[in-house]
Amino acid sequence: MSAVATLTNETIRGKSYPEISLVKKEFLLFEISDYHDVVQMLNDINLRMDFELHHVCSELAQNMLEEDNTGTIKITRGKVINTVKYKNEEDCFMKCEKLSHGLQLAQSSKEKTWLGSSIGKLGSLYRGRGLSSILNMGWIINTYSTIDNQLVIEASKH
């Protein structure tokens, strides 16, 4: 499925930056099912809109895909809501636990995230870097699980 940003039933794909600015709109919604959707979303929201917002959306969407999930990214004023859809209850439970553990680590850790132990292991070097970079910018991340195997990750500016 391709990324479609809906805004009061209006598709905004392909329109220029001023038209998708949140100054006039209430929210933007992007469905993310693959990396092309991420690219489309990043093209649409544009760095000029807000560097931090761009970063948060990018990291949340990529985290979701790296864990082999799909979902949506909704952008409202100063807030990004990432709804992750899991395959089944078991998958939902395992990944929610993993995420909450990762969040706890990122929130409690005030030290350097690179400790020199992962030379040559690209994945381990980058693991958890996205969430901690969001927290370091002064954003707050809250998670809420829903009954239909979904998790809502809400990132808001402190």
Partner 1 sequence: MAAEVKCSTNVKEIVGFFGQDQLTSALSIIGLFGLLAFIVFVVYKRGINIFGKIVVPSKLERDEAIKAIKSIEESKFYLKPDYIQKTGDDFCWFHAHKGASMKFGGMTWNSGEHYQAFELFQTLLLSDNIDSLEFVKSAIPSKVLGGIEKKLAVFEGQKREFTIYCDESQKNFLSTNLSHYSNLVLEVI
Amino acid at 133: S
By CB under 8 A, residue 58 contacts partner 1: yes
How far, in Å, CA of 27 to CA of 103, rounded? 26
Selected binder of partner 1 within 2, 17, 35, 68 (CB under 8 A): 35
Sheet strands side by side (includes 28-32): 10-11, 6-7, 28-32, 70-76, 79-85, 150-157, 139-146
Selected binder of partner 1 within 4, 22, 96, 125 (CB under 8 A): 125
By CB under 8 A, residue 42 contacts partner 1: yes
- Residue whose CB is less far from partner 1, 77 or 89: 77
**What does residue 146 show for φ and ψ, rounded to 5 degrees?**
-115, 165
Question: Of 19-27, 31-39, 83-91, 98-106, which segment contacts partner 1 by CB under 8 A?
Answer: 31-39
How far, in Å, CA of 84 to CA of 100, rounded? 14
Cβ neighbours, 10 Å, residue 143? 15
Selected binder of partner 1 within 21, 52, 152, 157 (CB under 8 A): 52
By CB under 8 A, residue 62 contacts partner 1: yes
How far, in Å, CA of 145 to CA of 51, rounded? 28
- Residue whose CB is less far from partner 1, 31 or 59: 59
**What does residue 63 show for φ and ψ, rounded to 5 degrees?**
-55, -45
Selected binder of partner 1 within 10, 19, 66, 89 (CB under 8 A): 66
How far, in Å, CA of 92 to CA of 98, rounded? 10
Selected binder of partner 1 within 136, 140, 142, 146 (CB under 8 A): 136
Site residues for partner 1 per CB under 8 A: 34-35, 38-40, 42-43, 46-47, 51-52, 54-55, 58-59, 62, 65-66, 111-114, 116, 122, 125-126, 129-130, 132-133, 136-138
